[in-house]
Amino acid sequence: MECPDSNRVGEGDGKFVHARRFGGLLAAFEQPRDEEQLQALDLPLLRALKNVGVRTVVCETTKVRGNAVMAMAQVADVATVDHADTPMGLLCIIAALTGHTDRYGLKNGARQMLPPVKALTSEP
């Protein structure tokens, strides 16, 4: 019997073993991170989460200067929201956590300010 919303991770005694897929993880920043933290901790963590199927959204507020966090998240190929402290940013977070991954925001590196309406009303 198939388990909905799960991944097959192996077999044991002729039966499939399933692991539930995590819904998502939100990483939010209000202060800039230094390059060493980004390379030694954040980037490997983001890549590992993506490799095991965890939807991840890296966010920062409009107060954060620069875009090192967003650039690092783009390298890891996870969703980003650079205006998480705004109503528009909250909509983007919802869209990203439901599978509509993109680079949302107002700063350099963002591809769009808001997700399409379809992203808030349907599955990816």
The answer to whether residue 68 sits within a structural domain is: yes
Q: From start to end of the chain, where are the E strands?
A: 6-12, 15-20, 25-29, 56-60, 79-81, 103-104
Any residues with CB less than 8 A from the CB of 70 and at least 6 apart, and which? Answer: 58, 60, 80, 82, 103, 105, 107, 109, 110
Structural domain count of the chain? 1
- Please report whether residue 13 resides in a domain: no
Q: Does residue 114 belong to any structural domain of this protein?
A: yes
> Which region among 6-20, 25-39, 71-85 has the lowest average model confidence (pLDDT)?
6-20
47, two tokens: 């890549």
Q: Which domain holds residue 59?
A: 23-121
Residue 31 lies in a domain: yes
pLDDT of residue 66: 75
So what's the pLDDT on residue 91? 92
Structural domain includes residue 37:
yes
In a domain, 108, yes or no: yes
The verdict on residue 50 lying in a domain is yes
pTM > 0.95 = no
Query: Would the pLDDT of 19 be above 60?
Result: no
124 against 42, higher pLDDT: 42
Say if 62 falls within a structural domain.
yes
Q: Which residue has the higher pLDDT, 118 or 88?
A: 88
